[in-house]
Amino acid sequence: MSDKHQAASPSAAASQMWGGRFAGGPAAIMQRINASIDFDRRLYAQDIRGSKAHCRMLVRQNIILPEDGETILAGLDAVLAEIDAGNFPFRTELEDIHMNVEARLAEIVGEAAGRLHTARSRNDQVATDFRLWVRDAMDGMDAALQGLQAALIERALQHAATVMPGFTHLQAAQPVTFGHHLLAYVEMVGRDRGRLADARRRLNESPLGSAALAGTSFPIDRHSTATELGFERPMANSLDGVSDRDFALEFMAACAIAAVHLSRLAEELVIWTSAQFRFVTLSDAFTTGSSIMPQKRNPDAAELIRAKTGRVIGDLTALLVVMKGLPLAYSKDMQDDKEPTFEAADTMELAIAAMTGMVWDLTVNESVMKAAAGAGFTTATDIADWCVRALKMPFRRAHHVAGSLVKLAEDKGCGLEDLTLDEMRTVEPGLTAEALAVLTVDSSVDSRTSFGGTAPARVREAALAARARFL
């Protein structure tokens, strides 16, 4: 193939694309607001893939000649090679990736290029390209989230018995293990992946062949193009095929929820790395220093993940607002569907990678965690449970006894485990030496053997089960 066909002038090119209805080119400001090539060029691989499937179908259905089909396919390969090599002449006056590819195809192969758009509109073309791109983004995000789960699971196995305080209201509540804590995020990420999988199933229908909005009079085979492009089936309604972007909204909703989960873990890393907690340490790879305070090690990667969550939520909101008042079928408003979707995908790719790196990187300060696990009377529930088991107390009475013991320890300025048995018996005479044994943080976590509990044996079991389920 050669470039013997010269490029048309901007106004002439626009006129050729629009046909005989328009005699002149658009105003400069119209070109600026109308053009999307600066961002939708990212769809080039999907656009060419969809065009190839459409071309092959047109040949199979005897809508275009086989020799024209071969010429078009070879030309599309040439266009793809140019873009991959960074040699493609993107032109703003051609508005978008679809018209840029078509115009370049015409320059390379001549008149045969004009047959490619038979039985197709830019409306179903862009809907198909965008679905293909979002589907690829979903698959990439799922793989990245799986990598995060792998890091969390392996660290959980390493720290299945590492005791730390569990919190409610950010107040020390009961001792748990660090492995148990990390596995909570494994489950959250698992649900994030499940949302992506659910959205992918609903996305996986092909709009191609819907044409502008009403279908086409040509004898096309939509099922064959759907199969070639990896879709389960063609979309059942041509109006719906070109006019909805709920697949992008679902993707961004899944992104937003996953970003919230990342932000929660990021917040904990910010807290845990502080001098007041010192539960974990991050290396130089994921921290920065201060321009004035030489002692500082700032958890900037975690803080930026926390901030970027707002960006992803904003992207979802932006597209919801774009779509909320649109009548059927296509409106130009929908050109603004891609930038927020691209940004959400890019932001999540970066945030997941950074979080995965931090999980692998962190050093756990086990002695500090364990000391903190016993502060704040975190084994009070254990003494209440002992009273229920050993003394057959109703739990509400046992709760009162435990609360009174906490008050006694507070008044004495000591921990529950520091009270003598005689002192404890001033609150409840039935207490025995056996009750003292339940007040250590190790005995507390060891006792939580219910399914999903924090006992180290259960944590190891859960981590191995999660590895089998998710990896």
Residues forming the active site: 169, 290
CB atoms within 10 A of CB 364: 18
| Closest CA relative to residue 111, chosen from 189, 16, 239 | 16
Residue 278 zone, left/alpha/beta (φ > 0; ψ -120 to 50; rest): left
- The DSSP line for 379-448 is THHHHHHHHHHHH---HHHHHHHHHHHHHHHHHHTS-GGGS-HHHHHTT-TT--HHHHHTTSHHHHHHH-
The residues that bridge with 100 in the sheet, in sequence order, are: none
User: What whole-number distance in Å separates Cα of residue 315 and Cα of residue 258?
Assistant: 14
Long-range CB pairs of 186-189 (<8 Å, 24+ gap) are 186/149, 186/152, 186/153, 186/156, 186/466, 186/470, 187/466, 188/261, 189/145, 189/148, 189/149, 189/152, 189/258, 189/261
8-state DSSP, 165: E
Tell me the C-alpha distance between 138 and 145, whole Å: 10
Structural contact between residues 152 and 237, judged by C-beta atoms closer than 8 angstroms: no
Query: Which letter, b or e, does each residue of 150-165 get, where b requires 16 or more Cβ atoms within 10 Å of its Cβ?
Result: bbbbbbbbebbbbbbb
In angstroms, what is the C-alpha Rg of the chain? 31
AA letter at 280: V
Residue 15 Cα to chain centre, angstroms: 42
Residues 6 or more apart whose CB falls under 8 angstroms from that of 189 comprise 145, 148, 149, 152, 258, 261
Taking the C-alpha atoms of residue 165 and residue 172, their distance in angstroms, rounded to an integer, is 6
Burial (Cβ within 10 Å: 0-12, 13-18, ≥19) of residue 217: exposed
DSSP sequence for 6-25: PPPPHHHHHHHHHGGG--SP
C-beta neighbour count of 449 within 10 angstroms: 12
- Per DSSP, 5 falls in state S
C-alpha distances in Å from residue 180, one per residue of 187, 337, 419, 433:
11, 40, 29, 30
**Measured in whole angstroms, how far is the alpha carbon of residue 103 from the centre of its chain?**
36
